Amino acid sequence: MRVKIFVDFWNFQIEWNNYHRNMNNNNVIKIPWDSTFPEVLTDLLGKEAVYAGTHVYASIDPRKTADRKLSNFLHHMNGFKGFNVTIKERKPASPIRCPDKDCHQQIDTCPHCSKTIIRSVEKGVDAALIVDMIQLAIDDRYDRGILVSGDRDFIGAVDFIQGRMKRISHVWFRNRANELQNVCWDHFFFENIMGQLLPNTD
C-alpha cells in the first residue's frame, strides 16, 4: 500500500506551535520533517504501508526577512528523501479603506501603534494541494493519502477522491477540524504520536 502525505504547511505549523505552547513549553519545538515525521505517519496505516513521498505546500511573503529565511529552509526541505515542496508567494491585498462612503480614505498605519499595515493574501496553496492530491490519485501514484491540515476547504476534494479513487486518512490535533476529520476515511491525533515524533524530548 503506497502512502503519500500531503501537508498544509502554515496550517500545520501554527497548530503545532499552539499545541506546544498550551503544554507550557516556551521553547521552539521543531517539526521533525526529515527524521521521524514521514515514518511515524506512514506506520499509522499498518504493516502494509509503504512510504511514497511527502508533499508540502507553503506560502511566503518575500517582503519579510523571516519569510525569506523560511524560503531557504523550504528549498532545503525539498531535498529531503521523498519530499516535494511547493512554495507560493503571497501577493499584496487591496488596501484597507475607511468604510464611510463620504471618506473611503486608505489606511496605511495602525491608529494605535502607528506601525505600517502590510497586508498580503495567500494565493494558490490550497488549490495546489487539491490539484496534486486529485491528479496523483488519478495517475495511481498512491493507494492511501494522509492529509495534514485542519482547513475545511479540503472537504470537497477529499469527498471527490474517496467517492471515485482512493482513501484519505486525516492526521490532526484532538478537538480540532471535526468537519474535515469526519469526511476522511479514518483519523489519527498528533497527541497520540507525539512521543514517537519527538522521542528525545522530555
Once rounded to an integer, what is the mean pLDDT over residues 89-115? 73
Identify the CATH homologous superfamily for domain 2-90+123-197: 5'-nuclease (3.40.50.1010)
pLDDT at 123: 64
Question: How far apart (Å, rounded) are the C-alpha atoms in residues 58 and 160?
Answer: 23
State which of 47-51, 100-104, 125-129 shows the largest mean pLDDT.
Answer: 47-51
In the structure, what pLDDT confidence band is assigned to residue 45 with cuts at 50, 70 and 90?
very high
Question: How far apart (Å, rounded) are the C-alpha atoms in residues 101 and 103?
Answer: 5
> Mean pLDDT lowest for which of 21-35, 75-89, 146-160?
21-35
For the cut 90, the answer to whether the pLDDT of residue 71 exceeds it is no
Once rounded to an integer, what is the mean pLDDT over residues 115-129? 72
Cβ(139)–Cβ(67) under 8 Å? no
Question: DSSP per residue over 125-187, as a string?
Answer: HHHHHHHHHHHHHHTT--SEEEEE---GGGHHHHHHHHHHT-EEEEEE-TTS-HHHHHHSSEE
For 3, the 3-state DSSP assignment is strand
Question: How far apart (Å, rounded) are the C-alpha atoms in residues 45 and 146?
Answer: 9
Domain range summary for the chain, segments of one domain joined by +: 2-90+123-197
Once rounded to an integer, what is the mean pLDDT over residues 9-20? 93
Q: What is the mean pLDDT of the chain?
A: 87
pLDDT at 67: 75
